[in-house]
Amino acid sequence: MSVKPRWDIFCRVVDNFGDIGVTWRLARQLAKEHGFSVRLRCDDLATLAQLAPSVVPDLPAQSVDAIDICLWDDSFTAIDCADVVLETFACELPPDYLQAMAKRARQPVWINLEYLSAENWVADFHCGASPHPRLPLLKHFFFPGFTAATGGLLREADLFAQRDHSQNDPLELWAAIGIAPPAKDDISVALFCYPNAALPALIDAWANSAQPVRCLVPQGHSLQQISAILDSGEIRAGDSRQRGNLGIHALPFVPQARFDHLLWACDINFVRGEDSFVRAQWAARPFVWHIYPQDDEAHRVKLSAFLDRYSADLDTAATRACRSFWENWNHGTAPDWSAFLQQRKVLEAHARRWANQLAMQADLAENLVGFVETHL
């Protein structure tokens, strides 16, 4: 096909920010770096607007960052469909849109973007296909992942250059985030997690830590939980609280691009879900992952699979400190802050190595584009 294919991307916000966080990032990269015309159909523009403040939540059709954004609600009608149809996280396309796809002279490339996992089986299922039960359509399953046999990870072409530029000028970086730089010996920590039974113990550990901890918390669940733990009234964006050697600083929920800056600036990042988990890896700083908890406990296997990969060439003491901290954090039991902190320098060097090593593989958008080119 000589004309550039058009993309339709569908996203349903199941909960929180990850579904649209990943989708928005991908849509922007496909438009900006690969020059595609992209339409994004999303059922929750209010959540998207928190990540991308230029989006107007109650405007059903708008264009932002060269993406045509359309509210995907019950009134959605499929007028035409694009050459590439990407549904994210099995969000199920509307029946009349599927009909429109089936009526096209040339079948669109239909892809479901799956959730990220470091488990080995991902490579076996990546790019698998399944025919629609009734219509002449074939759906492909695209799995992000950590090896070249998977779809890779979302990473913009200029990300590392921007990160390095910012990390080389911390004063400017803190100014961009809008808060004062830390005092000389402070450890700056960003905190973004699900409600976590281990948080009271961690707050205590930070408060009693020999080295002062400056904890930056964007508005949301984590801040609410901290307000309850400190029992000193509701903490709002802009507020600070002090307990022992711990300073808590509440931030507003920052736009997605600014969230990267926060991760680049902090010494240790607590992240969760999928998108912030990947961004913490690109930040090349030690991090702690609160994985999205699943009812059937499947997240424990996923957590362990990632830790196995992440620590494969990390020394024994650092592996022990990191693994035990992450496991306690995820299982709601007191994590050992001082053991983790003792390994900080080793973990810092490792985080940079890990990011560089992952970045040797093609990124997710690049892999998707390659896949589409061979299937159009």
Q: How far apart are CA 24 and CA 36, in angstroms?
A: 14
CB 310 within 8 A of CB 327: no
Of 170 and 220, CB closest to ligand TRH: 220
Known active-site residue 274 = yes
Helix then strand then coil, % of the chain, to nearest 5: 40, 20, 40
**Which member of 8, 114, 260, 274 is catalytic?**
274
The secondary element (H helix, E strand) that includes residue 323 is helix 316-331
Q: What is the DSSP string of 263-301?
A: HHHSSEEEEETTHHHHHHHHTTS-EEEEPPP-TTSHHHH
Known active-site residue 96 = no
CB 47 within 8 A of CB 17: yes
Least Cβ distance, residue 44 to ligand TRH (angstroms) = 12
**Which member of 8, 19, 87, 119 is catalytic?**
19
Of 277 and 306, CB closest to ligand TRH: 277
Least Cβ distance, residue 29 to ligand TRH (angstroms) = 13
Non-local (6+) Cβ contacts of 287 within 8 A are 263, 268, 269, 270, 271, 280, 281, 351
Least Cβ distance, residue 99 to ligand TRH (angstroms) = 28
Of 51 and 84, CB closest to ligand TRH: 51
Least Cβ distance, residue 103 to ligand TRH (angstroms) = 32
Task: Give the residues lining the site for ligand TRH (CB under 6 A).
Answer: 14-19, 21, 51, 115, 192, 218, 220, 253-256, 259, 272-277, 292
Of 24 and 109, CB closest to ligand TRH: 24
Catalytic residues: 19, 274
